[in-house]
Amino acid sequence: GAVVSQHPSRVICKSGTSVKIECRSLDFQATTMFWYRQFPKQSLMLMATSNEGSKATYEQGVEKDKFLINHASLTLSTLTVTSAHPEDSSFYICSATTSVLPSYEQYFGPGTRLTVT
Amino acid sequence: GDSVTQMEGPVTLSEEAFLTINCTYTATGYPSLFWYVQYPGEGLQLLLKATKADDKGSNKGFEATYRKETTSFHLEKGSVQVSDSAVYFCALSDRGGSNYKLTFGKGTLLTVNP
C-alpha cells in the first residue's frame, strides 16, 4: 500500500527557534500533500494544501508566514514552524494523495509531536 | 459547506460487545465517505471507505454502509476486542471540490475493557 513517513516523530525546541518537519511519500509520487494540526483529544484541523511545484494554499486563519510549506518534489513536502512559541506545541500530521491512486483517498503519515519550551 | 457529525464519546465497552458509532454528514456534492482510526500517539489509518450510495465498506470486522437517503455512514462491529481501543474519525471527501480535501468529524474515543 501507499506509505507516508514523517520526520522527526518528536521534537522539542526552544521558544523563538524554527523547526522543520518532513513528509515523504515512500512508494508513490504525491501530487498533493496536506498538513494538519491536531490538539489533544480533538479532531484534525487542515492547515494547508500543497501541490508539487506551486505555492501552498492555506486555510483561513493559518499564518502562512509562520507555517512555511514547501513541496519541492513529488515525494517530499516540508513544514517549517518559524519563531515557534509554546502555543505552537501540537501534533502535526501530513497526508498525501496522487492522481494515480483513487484521487479522493489520502494516506497519512504517523505524525510529529512538537513541544516548544 | 460540508460537515460531519459523529456521536460524541467516550464509548466504553466490554470485550465481545457490539459497537455502533453514528456518523451523519452534509455535503454540497456527492461525497466519498471514510472511517479512519487513530491509535494512541500515531497518525491516522484508513479503516474503510465507500464511494457511492448503498456501498458497504468493510475491514477487520468493521462495516459501514453509505446511506444517501439518511446521509449517514454508521460504523459497526459485531464483537470488539481490546485491540480496537482507539479514536475513530468519520470523514468525507467531496469530489466536486478541488484538491479532494477531507472534512473530519470530531472523533470518538473507544475503550474496550477485557
Question: B98, B99, B108: best mutation site toward chain A, by most A Cβ within 10 Å?
Answer: B99
pLDDT by residue (tens digit) across A91-102?
999 999 876 666
Please report the pLDDT score of residue B40 as a whole number.
Answer: 85
- The listed range with the strongest mean pLDDT (A98-112, B51-65, B82-96) is B51-65
What is the per-residue DSSP string for B68-113?
A: TTTTB--EEESS--GGG-EEEEEEEEETTSSTT-EEE---EEEEEE
Distance (Å, rounded) from C-alpha B66 to C-alpha A15? Answer: 46
Res A67 pLDDT > 70:
yes
Q: pLDDT higher for A115 or A74?
A: A115
Cβ-defined contact of A32 to B100 (cutoff 8 Å): yes
Average pLDDT, chain B: 92
- The listed range with the strongest mean pLDDT (A108-112, B6-10, B72-76) is B72-76
pLDDT by residue (tens digit) across B48-65?
999 889 999 999 999 999
Torsion (CA) B10, B11, B14, B18 in degrees, nearest 10: -170
Question: A45, A60, A106, A112: best mutation site toward chain B, by most B Cβ within 10 Å?
Answer: A106
Coil vs helix vs strand at B63: strand
Res A47 pLDDT > 90:
yes
Q: Tell me the β-bridge partners of B48.
A: B35
- Percent pLDDT > 70 in chain A is 94
Mean pLDDT for B75-82 is 97
Q: Is the separation of the CB atoms in A117 and A54 below 8 Å? A: no
Res B85 pLDDT > 90:
yes
Burial of residue A91, with CB atoms counted within 10 A of its CB: 0-12 exposed, 13-18 middle, 19 or more buried? buried
Res B99 pLDDT > 80:
no
Distance (Å, rounded) from C-alpha A89 to C-alpha A115? Answer: 5
Measure A117 CA to nearest chain B CA, in Å.
Answer: 20
Taken in order A105, A111, A112, B1, the sign of the CA dihedral is positive
Please report the pLDDT score of residue B6 as a whole number.
Answer: 94
Cβ-defined contact of A41 to B109 (cutoff 8 Å): yes
Res B97 pLDDT > 60:
no
Distance (Å, rounded) from C-alpha B101 to C-alpha B91? Answer: 10
Band the pLDDT of A5: cuts 50, 70, 90.
very high
Q: Which residue of B has its CA nearest to A42?
A: B106
Please report the pLDDT score of residue B96 as a whole number.
Answer: 54
Ramachandran quadrant class, B96 (left: phi over 0; alpha: psi -120 to 50; beta: rest):
alpha
* Placement of cell 512508494 in the chain: A27
Average pLDDT, chain A: 90
- The listed range with the strongest mean pLDDT (A33-42, B4-13, B44-53, B62-71) is B62-71
Measure A65 CA to nearest chain B CA, in Å.
Answer: 22
Burial of residue B9, with CB atoms counted within 10 A of its CB: 0-12 exposed, 13-18 middle, 19 or more buried? middle
Measure A32 CA to nearest chain B CA, in Å.
Answer: 7
Please report the pLDDT score of residue A100 as a whole number.
Answer: 63
